[in-house]
Structure 1
């Protein structure tokens, strides 16, 4: 594949000449901001806004021209100067033509004349639309922000407004130019979601911010190769499984006459390259999808997804049929490019979809073979992709909005006063009636709560649960019941201010908040009005209302008003364990002692779940993101939305559908759909290796043998060479005896069969022993006990800080009858192979 990419990179620029812009925009304003001379970028001349010709567009009483005295040598002269706004300032442009326009901003902060543009914080409005809110350009590398919007007046004003304490806004260059009439059209767009596919109307009225512009299967394209001066980047870093795709290239110029697209929709180079199914790769099944994950704004933010196609792989018409998926939902079935191009091969087309981002902040695009494809013709392609966020936000500072807001406040006050009067009268009448009736006793039990679906408005049986359920520790957080009023939660989160978002998960966005009694909380809000996540919502309340433990995240309360599903937890200061192990957000690396203490704390929490109740509780989603750390690095297990009660005394397992996270999923549970507490033990074993190696449980960007952490680390553990794959920060900082014992614990947790895995109490005891090995400098540690088996211990861990009592050796021998009880010979590797083909979950 590398050879193919090299060929594409070398020959494609020779096949397609650089575009001299065949499209001439009627409105075309290019400004070099803060400059007294013109600047050039990609053969386009930007007029200095401090020149006589450029100053007519500037409207700012207190703006400053700033020049970088020491610009980086490889930066364009366009980034050598900036227009700085210490107060609200703007540019105004006369529009000769109404319709769709492109607006671009160039940002490259620097220090000069006492100003540090890296500290800037400001908002930008275009035609009254707030397109950038509290924007911080950050680092000094050039940054381009592009917006597509419809202009319906004779002028366009662009406003820069400093925000916060910085009192500073800036811009290096501004582009405003009209777009072709057919760049954004109002018909043919498909809205894709859980409920299916439907028509989406009035697309052109949206303000769109370009997030990704991808040349699939090809190389980076600069504005030299695009009639609208756009940049297209390669797709390789977004491929979920790189081996699933194979790049292809055509030497023939696309046939635009019979296609739906033009060169302004996408340039020749995009339609002359593609990714197709790599059917030659031995590890992939006969039917599979090519999948790309594109990071975007999380939490259901709406996006336009434009996909570009050009059949450069088929030898004849009506051969290629494939399906398109967005976020796992079917977007286009049995797509036949021939039928869209007047039955001509190599004719460009594009299809527009509208979809919402998931809660983790991803738009996922997949293409795969259709059921109409024969085995010999099975294929799917994609040539290009554009993802644009819809950012229509009217400025709350505008005078019109302010006047309307004041009017509504006045009307609301009058109406509210009348309603309040009626409520008081009704309350007094109801109270008088109730005094005449004998009060009936209420049941106070959590287990007997009957759940019903959420109603569209008001509460459900869940809302009434607090009437008969006392909080396990009344008043610990200022609330004697579980239920918290929605108004209190709004106040705690500043009406769900996006700046307070601290994470997102499968249920919804998580906000930092402060309740009335100054208690910090984490507020997890489901999608308002949606029933998705209702079972997890109910499970979290049912489970967490029954338990209190130092190593389990505590539930403060919940809210179910106005179709909201909100859970309120104690705030855990330092966030997920994953953040402290790897990635760009990794803080100060954790010491080996800290990591062991964190693992011990998490093990204690899990041991309590498994043994602290008659049936026990199985978490089902143990992973590094669900282990949180407080200000003292004390571990707390979180997220009980997938939890289940364990088997009854006379049962060995719980039969249930497979739930969990890729890379952490117990292979035996996956095969047999029989859940036990040993499934949590397997997941915890993956976490142990994650803590040791400081890498994700699944990393598709690595070589095949390294993709799955559990498989890869077990190979090194069995070779006795675990020290070769540990976090580089830990090299030379772990005693060999401690590392050896830790590896043995993780290996036993990851045993193929649950019967061969230790209990969590067993794991806990040995982790504490591993910590003592690390801390003890004397040679007596050579007398290591076998892994302690505490199958009958339900009270907690053994205190190993004084005397170590060797336990009975645990059996690792597979039972003779296993083969007769439904165990397959499928290995963990085979199970993982199923998971990556999207058939496992």
Structure 2
């Protein structure tokens, strides 16, 4: 292996805008002994810093000095060896930019257009079988460098081939340029937290778009990026109208910075072109961005800055990626502390599918007033996820009907609009539109910099009995409790941020969930957690001890659950498996918490994210439901559901909720059914490493249950502990929870009753009071004393048995229950 070391050097450079000063900054003019100044940046010739045997230098004959880059592209370093590399000594571990410049020319009997090679960085293959025939090519990557060296390796594809490079840029990115858990995954399963740490992904830039603005060169960007115009990507150019401002954006702490995108990106936008269009006519602005490679995952960063509104609270709009809702009822003012012209960005992960296109759309929300319907977009960045392979098993077949129905629906809708436009116009003018509930509840911070004003809820919900301020914990006390957020005290992480174990001044053990410092992600979840947990107290729901919002921090403090999430005890490493009896007790406890959540209030509360990681265990293995960031108030008494955008976790999501976007408490019941099978089988809800028919736990286990062979997939650790009668009742309960339609599912009260019944069957049979259940379809089994007989009771259409639950659950009902 031949290698060359490039020493660390300091490069002074000046720009018309305040320049970012990276701690690592390597700019190499490859194959030359001369330095080059490009965009006020100093590229060092590499001839004096390489071993003479490391490749060869070639120089372009009669270089054309017409462009800024011509100095870089007049030389190249050529590699004929099987593996040749540049090695950079890294000062700052973290995210780095890597740019590779390729510009072919012919000189010294070497035609660079014939080069075919691959390039890797610290063992990660960036691209292969690469060649450049005519124009110059710049390939940019964003990657994590987690050791003291970065090795860029060039490998010819064939023995007779070779590799080359004209220039290399390596520099460290700003802190938090990529947030580990800041991206949302968007697709047929709805909007979910991206399951992997985004900072560990290697990204290659595909598109960087200044929406509504002119092309920007590296000279106008603090990170020396190029931004191109969006005009060529607009599907219907007359649907959009450019918006501009001459005022510099108002950057806020915790929001976008000039390193995220330059001023010019946030000073222009495309907005709805409503000229010569009737007020009630609804349309969208859509961009199609070809990404070349089909069936691949892409990181998408969307930039927003409200430069079109006259006052905060006027602009509500929806964002879609590849036709799927990415953000519903987006209110920028609620995310930027009621300030206009404040830059904001949102990160997503989307799957390109067979089209090889990433489609971005925006349209007005129903929450907008009739006269002010608008939607905007300021910038788009699309990056290929080089080292990430997404599992799309089975998704195409399930979603064919979605595509077909969407096409047919769109055709019919357009026809109706054309034929009945006049009629609709007069009808809609007289119709008073009832605003839908906003998915992202507006949140006024409790004091951005430690002020004493408390938060308000835009949905009209009032604080708990003592008000929010009664649960406020000073930031200084939280710092003390966590030893200033000592990494050794981290006990978990999630979409909101890191979770630390801490001890408050009164010696209470607590779990402290800290939002990403300075981030603007998670405000709705933060507010919802406080709202819900300020109103409820139950033995099987995790209690909120307090919260903190000072110095732009968002911190939630809970009672400490010693044994952590249920998931860890089912198939986590290095932990003794739970007994069947203990698993049953945990399921019963979680069901009690959910039953209280659904029935303890006039409208009830729908959790919306039930899964094994959100069921926590205390030191005695008592189960408590946690994480209420996605919770929603249930429907009113005269309503059947809540209309809302789909949220939840992959593998646990209610298919009816996904299809109809109508949320009920039966959506929680479905998710709990998945948890029941997870407890029984001790495997994840989704495991992409398994064969196709086994990937989805709910589908796989339901097939075994319907075939009457559920015992075949029971966790081997408990197979000798579980009684057939108990297993039969447990399996039936889980099966009813996973019914396709909510009306066919039981209530959580019925689920709880059946689980307690299964537990009694297990206990009684252990004592020899009951015979083992055979595989007969309708076994006659004597009941334990005190439990009503439901074997001969009919199961009615609304998912509940005909017996009264009051005999069994009177201790759980509250006077305020539904």
TM-score normalised to structure 1 length: 0.48
TM-score normalised to structure 2 length: 0.49
